Amino acid sequence: MTRPNTLLLVAAALLIVAAPGTLFADGALLSPGAPLAQSVTPDPVITVTGSADANNPASVGELYATGENTVTWTDSDTTEPPGYHDLWERIRAGFKMKEIDTPLVQRHEAWYLNRPEYMQRMVDRSRRYLYFIVVELEKRGMPTEIALLPMIESAYNPTAYSRMRASGIWQFIPSTGKKYGLQQTWWYDGRRDVLAATRAALDYLQVLHDTFGSWELALAAYNCGEGGIQRAVAKNRAKHKPTDYFSLKLPKETRNYLPKLQAVKNIVADPSLFALGLDHIPNLPYFTIVKAPTTIDVVMAAKLADMSVEDFRNLNPGHQRPVITPVANRELLVPVDKAELFHANLENNAQPLVTWQTYQLKQGEKLDTVANKFGISVQRLQEVNGLTAGKRTRVGQMLLVPMEEDDTTTNLDETYNSAEFKAPADDYHGRVVYRVKAGDSLASIARRYKTSPELIQQWNGLSGTTLRTGQRLTIWQEARHRHHLARR
């Protein structure tokens, strides 16, 4: 592997000035919750250990019964493979992509060299997810460099949210997430779900690789969209020019994308060269899957696993509300060494699993009717459910309400006003469907909705700029623009 001169790299680092967070996302913390009261009988629990799909574990592992309500899954990847006592070693052994040695790579190496604390935080977050991702990559025969991709996408922050409305460690935008099966509701966002989003991201990358014939172009398309790469390739072909990543005219961010990944890869490959130590990560699973009861407070689930709410949320960021309901019921992740404790505590629990419940709006019901029914103010009901005065409710809509008339003993104050439990309003309520009129172009529609033609193409899977009259386009709008535009 080609390496830049270390002294030159250090000198370059001292000259480079970049605002922290400009290219990367960082995370926020939650505080632990409070104790609960009242007894609820827990549902039977299925525990699945390992990194396989809990819906079909027998396809990749061996099932054996360990109790009436418990099934444990194991496979060869749950023990250290010979020769790999550290997960970084296993990652290095799977590197397959072509090496890049350009000034852009050195610039990004210097960026990290100047920010060792940032690098440390990113690596600390990644240790929760890396083993699972590496196993998934190996199953598919994909380069393990891809396990480093969330470092440049989200800094491994599972709740990262970008100005382009991309979310999660893999930074899916809403439309691509839905295309690859990631459900997105007010209760649950599959783009944040570590298991679902990782599998969707690898599915997407494999499709891009099959389409463009190289991992370099696949990653470029992951960054700027399939349409952008297809157009760039077509232009070069028309001019009889090469169509590899380095020969294409690409947006600035995409030109930096692979060099940035190469910079991280170089650091992982030889951290001593950069005077940046990488803490040991065991080549063992970090988390396991436990089947959640039908309804449970996030605070209570964390308590049963003897975890802080912060740690529990880091493993289960797809659950966007402080209560896990049947609407958002998925597997829960807990550290491997907490699974038995979670199960035992659930079976012996004498406290309620929920201190609030869901309520479905009936025909003709308004928020003030529901608020009076449960003895809380309309304002309180709105803020708990992320509603604004101008947002309409609909028949059948699910609302969070306290279990008792007096909600002072619930966990609402622990969590409902935390940004971690609030879905961005523009993401879930900012969808505009526009019908193309005669004379419209992508550029004119983009100006009208204060966005870019490229984003409209991404959101709608357009490979070109041609529109037809009557065509419907999905446009995602920030909350501050939405009401004004809807009146046009």
> Which one of 319-333, 364-378, 393-407 scores highest in mean pLDDT?
364-378
> pLDDT confidence of 65, banded at 50, 70, 90?
very low
Rounded to an integer, the average pLDDT of 371-375 is: 88
Decide if 356-410 and 430-486 have a common fold: yes
DSSP string, 166-182: -BTTTTB-HHHHHHTT-
Whole-number pLDDT of residue 254: 93
73: helix, strand or coil: strand
User: Does 66 score more than 80 pLDDT?
Assistant: no
Cα gap 138→78, rounded to integer Å? 14
Q: What is the pLDDT of residues 411-437, one digit of tens each?
A: 444 444 444 444 443 344 456 778 899
Instruction: Identify the residue with better confidence: 423 or 228.
Output: 228
Looking at CATH, the fold of the domain delimited by 356-410 is given as Membrane-bound Lytic Murein Transglycosylase D; Chain A (3.10.350)
Look over the chain and give the mean of its residue pLDDT values, rounded to a whole number.
76
pTM (predicted TM-score): 0.68
How distant, in Å, are the alpha carbons of 18, 444, 464, 473, 476 from that of 458? 28, 16, 11, 11, 11
For the question of residue 340 being annotated catalytic, the response is no
| Cβ neighbourhood burial of 244 (10 Å; 0-12, 13-18, 19+) | middle
**pLDDT > 90 fraction of the chain, expressed in percent and rounded:** 43
Cα gap 326→315, rounded to integer Å? 19
User: Does 26 score more than 90 pLDDT?
Assistant: no
Domain ranges in the chain? 47-79+284-347, 80-274, 356-410, 430-486
Q: What is the pLDDT of residues 316-330, one digit of tens each?
A: 999 887 788 766 656
Catalytic residue among 153, 216, 226, 331: 153
DSSP string, 105-128: HHHHHHHHHT-HHHHHHHHHHHTT
Looking at CATH, the fold of the domain delimited by 80-274 is given as Lysozyme (1.10.530)
Instruction: Identify the residue with better confidence: 311 or 450.
Output: 311
User: Does 225 score more than 50 pLDDT?
Assistant: yes
Whole-number pLDDT of residue 390: 64
Instruction: Identify the residue with better confidence: 368 or 73.
Output: 368
Whole-number pLDDT of residue 465: 87
Rounded to an integer, the average pLDDT of 330-345 is: 92
Q: What is the pLDDT of residues 168-200, one digit of tens each?
A: 999 999 889 999 999 888 778 999 999 999 999
Which amino acid, residue 3? R
> pLDDT confidence of 344, banded at 50, 70, 90?
very high
User: Does 131 score more than 60 pLDDT?
Assistant: yes
Whole-number pLDDT of residue 13: 42
Please answer whether residues 322 and 415 qualify as being in contact, where contact means their C-beta atoms are separated by less than 8 angstroms. yes
Q: What is the pLDDT of residues 256-305, one digit of tens each?
A: 999 999 999 999 999 888 777 788 999 999 999 998 788 888 889 999 99
CATH of region 430-486, choose from 3.30.70.3460, 3.90.550.10, 3.30.70.120, 3.10.350.10 = 3.10.350.10
3-state SS string over 381-432?
HHHHCCCCCCCCCCCCCEEEEECCCCHHHCCHHHHCCCHHHCCCHHHHHCEE
DSSP code at position 337: G
| Cβ neighbourhood burial of 24 (10 Å; 0-12, 13-18, 19+) | buried
Whole-number pLDDT of residue 389: 64
Ranges 9-18, 57-66, 262-271: which has the least confidence:
57-66
Ranges 32-46, 71-85, 127-141: which has the least confidence:
32-46
Please answer whether residues 263 and 100 qualify as being in contact, where contact means their C-beta atoms are separated by less than 8 angstroms. no
Whole-number pLDDT of residue 407: 43
Cα gap 191→171, rounded to integer Å? 7
Best CA proximity match to 317, nearest among 2, 19, 27: 27
Whole-number pLDDT of residue 419: 45
> pLDDT confidence of 55, banded at 50, 70, 90?
very low
Whole-number pLDDT of residue 163: 74
Please answer whether residues 280 and 123 qualify as being in contact, where contact means their C-beta atoms are separated by less than 8 angstroms. no
Whole-number pLDDT of residue 272: 83
User: Does 52 score more than 50 pLDDT?
Assistant: no
Backbone angles phi, psi at 154, to 5 degrees: -140, 5
Whole-number pLDDT of residue 329: 58
Cα gap 36→31, rounded to integer Å? 16
Cα gap 334→316, rounded to integer Å? 8
Cα gap 324→358, rounded to integer Å? 10
Whole-number pLDDT of residue 429: 43
Whole-number pLDDT of residue 196: 94
**pLDDT > 70 fraction of the chain, expressed in percent and rounded:** 73
